[in-house]
């Protein structure tokens, strides 16, 4: 580190590393690209950011365990950024909110939370996780829901008449894909009864809460090959019983809500409309005034890594968010399926080198990476617009590999952000505890594997780029 500092100082302060604080002080020169690469090569890991000793229970405290979500970050990481770089009542924004980790943490810390995501399922989960519901009212409604569903299923199955008449109109979407993923008729029927009864709930917050529970159980009730990040059927799989799975999960969520209700400051709960904005929307069009946001904490999508639309298709099918997967994929950044035709310049020499290298191996993937960097650049421009001068953006990102070409996301992001009016405040290199990051993925099934032929690598490190708007 000291050598690097000396070297940089000799180069007339092109990039200056303050070794005492670990902070980087940056001034742009013609050798920016090389300076960035050198900085990353020499960056030491900061163990205080790996949160290695946290248990699963701790990382899924309160509402954080409501729903699985690919590439979600742990709440403790978001919380530390929020506490370090914002004050109470200031606006904290996550333009790729995913399942709402940043928003929940911001609200608990008494900040105003704004989040968007292109994925409607991300919106549903975020709302369910961040709106605290009065625990007694919720428990009463959930108990009634469960007893109605149970009685109705008994009546349907065994003709056992309930004490009072219960009439539920099952909702089973008329879509071939439902039969494809849920080939067992009794499972489709039971799911239809649960959904039909949820739809009768008048209170919107409680209805969203129940829909989130419903969405979470769908994978286990289907023949979806578990642990796979690509949609693959496993016809040998024995799907779980929908009602039992739903009951177990919603009761777990009821406890999570109690904790959220206890932890959220009273003034935030009383003025939730003022403190929480979560929308299904594109990250390039944030619902924020210019120069209004104090802090952004986010992890952007990766390129050709997770196809969120594919992964969430079961919920999308049942809840009617899209007629087909192709329609559902629109707008997702990082997808292999879409094309952006206009590129008026990616402001990164490192990105251009990567694309050139990739073009030699695969035109399709090179195109996808070009689209990706360009669209991410547009997102950074929007982040720059909404941030206050001096406001920080904490970008959590790891590097990856495609066709044996290193995709240096972190280095590219820093270069783009420097070129559009940010400075580096700090770069943290953190180890991702191995229990949540197996090393390779099979490109056919997307399943994590130890097969060394896998063409895609997931690294054990990621970065938190703490950038400041000039």
Q: Judging by beta carbons within 10 Å of its beta carbon (0-12, 13-18, 19+), is residue 132 exposed, middle or buried?
A: buried
* Of the residues 26, 62, 108, 116, which one makes contact with ligand SAM according to CB under 6 A: 116
User: Closest approach of Cβ 417 to ligand SAM, in Å?
Assistant: 18
CB of 392: closest distance to ligand SAM in angstroms? 16
Q: Cβ 50 to ligand SAM, closest distance in Å?
A: 17
Choose among 145, 186, 188, 189: nearest CA to 166.
Answer: 145
Cα–Cα distance measured from residue 331 to residue 283, given in angstroms and rounded to the nearest whole number: 10
**Is-contact 162 155, C-beta < 8 A?**
yes
Of 333, 354, 458, 467, which one interacts with ligand SAM (CB under 6 A)?
Answer: 333
Q: Which residues lie closer than 8 Å to 323 by C-beta, 6 or more apart?
A: 175
- Interface map 32-71 toward ligand SAM (x if CB under 6 A): -------------------------------------x-x
Residues 69-108 that bind ligand SAM (CB under 6 A): 69, 71-73, 96, 98-99, 101
- Select 332 or 413, whichever has its Cβ closest to ligand SAM: 332
Which residue, 14 or 377, is less far from ligand SAM as judged by CB? 377
Classify residue 238 by burial, with Cβ atoms within 10 Å: 0-12, 13-18, 19+. Answer: exposed
* Residue from 49, 181, 209, 308 binding ligand SAM (CB under 6 A): 308
> Distance between CA atoms of 25 and 42, rounded to whole angstroms?
15
How far is the C-alpha of 144 from the C-alpha of 151, rounded, in Å? Answer: 11
The reply to whether 283 sits near ligand SAM by the rule CB under 6 A is: yes
Q: How far is CA 334 from CA 259, 302, 330, in A?
A: 35, 6, 11
d(CA 459, CA 438): 9
Q: Which of 188/441 has CB closer to ligand SAM? A: 441
Q: Is 331 in the site for ligand SAM (CB under 6 A)?
A: yes
CB of 89 to ligand SAM, least distance (A): 23
Burial of 462 (0-12, 13-18, 19+ CB in 10 A): buried
Q: Which two tokens stand for residue 422?
A: 């940010």
User: Nearest residue to ligand SAM, using CB?
Assistant: 98
Residue placing its CB nearer to ligand SAM in the complex, 16 or 211 = 211
Site for ligand SAM in 126-165 (CB under 6 A): none
The two structure tokens encoding residue 172: 């089973």
Among residues 121 and 195, whose Cβ is nearest to ligand SAM?
Answer: 121
Site residues for ligand SAM, 215-244, by CB under 6 A, read none
Binding of residue 413 to ligand SAM (CB under 6 A):
no
- Please provide the DSSP assignment of 264-321 as one string: S-HHHHHTHHHHEEEEE--TTS-SS-TT-EEEEEE-PPPTTS--HHHHTHHHHHHHTS
Which of 38, 63, 119, 215 binds ligand SAM (CB under 6 A)? It is 119
Please work out the total of residues on this chain that contact ligand SAM, with binding judged by CB under 6 A.
Answer: 21
Report the interface residues with ligand SAM, using CB under 6 A.
69, 71-73, 96, 98-99, 101, 116-119, 122, 282-283, 299, 301, 308, 331-333
């Amino acid at each position: 580190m000291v050598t690097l500092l000396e070297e940089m100082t000799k180069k007339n302060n092109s990039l200056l590393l303050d070794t005492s604080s670990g902070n980087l002080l940056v001034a742009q020169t013609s050798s920016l690209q090389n300076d960035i690469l050198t900085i990353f090569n020499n960056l030491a890991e900061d163990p205080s950011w790996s949160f290695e000793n946290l248990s699963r229970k701790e990382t899924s405290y309160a509402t954080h365990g409501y729903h699985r979500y690919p590439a979600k970050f742990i709440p403790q990481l978001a919380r530390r950024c929020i506490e370090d770089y914002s004050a109470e009542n200031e606006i904290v924004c996550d333009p790729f909110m995913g399942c709402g980790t940043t928003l929940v943490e911001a609200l608990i810390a008494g900040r105003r939370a704004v989040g968007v995501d292109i994925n409607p399922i991300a919106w549903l989960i975020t709302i369910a996780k961040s709106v605290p519901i009065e625990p007694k009212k919720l428990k009463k409604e959930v108990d009634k829901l469960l007893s109605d569903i149970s009685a109705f299923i008994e009546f349907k199955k065994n003709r056992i008449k309930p004490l009072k008449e219960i009439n539920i109109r099952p909702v089973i979407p008329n879509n071939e894909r439902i039969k494809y993923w849920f080939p067992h008729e009794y499972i489709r029927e039971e799911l239809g009864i649960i959904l039909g009864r949820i739809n009768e709930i008048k209170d919107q917050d409680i209805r969203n809460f129940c829909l989130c529970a419903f969405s979470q159980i769908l994978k286990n009730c289907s023949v979806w090959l578990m642990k796979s990040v690509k949609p693959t059927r496993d016809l040998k799989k024995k799907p779980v019983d929908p009602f039992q799975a739903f009951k177990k999960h919603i009761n777990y969520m009821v406890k999570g809500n109690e904790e959220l209700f206890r932890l959220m400051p009273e003034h935030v709960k009383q003025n939730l409309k003022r403190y929480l904005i979560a929308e299904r929307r594109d990250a390039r069009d944030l619902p924020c005034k210019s120069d209004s946001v104090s802090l952004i904490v986010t992890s952007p999508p990766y390129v050709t890594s997770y196809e969120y639309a594919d992964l969430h298709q079961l919920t999308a099918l049942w809840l009617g968010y899209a007629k087909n997967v192709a329609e559902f994929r629109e707008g997702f950044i990082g997808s292999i399926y879409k094309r952006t035709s206009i590129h008026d310049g990616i402001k990164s020499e490192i990105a251009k080198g990567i694309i050139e290298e990739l073009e030699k191996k695969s035109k399709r993937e090179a195109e996808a990476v070009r689209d990706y960097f360009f669209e991410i650049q547009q997102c950074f421009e929007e982040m720059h617009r909404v941030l206050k001068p001096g406001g920080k953006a904490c970008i959590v990102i790891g590097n990856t590999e495609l066709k044996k070409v290193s995709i240096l996301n972190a280095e590219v992001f820093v270069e783009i952000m420097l070129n559009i009016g940010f400075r580096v405040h700090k770069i943290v290199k953190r180890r991702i505890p191995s229990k949540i990051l197996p090393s390779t993925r099979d490109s056919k099934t997307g399943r994590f594997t130890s097969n060394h032929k896998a063409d895609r690598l997931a690294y054990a490190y990621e970065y938190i780029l703490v950038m400041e708007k000039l």
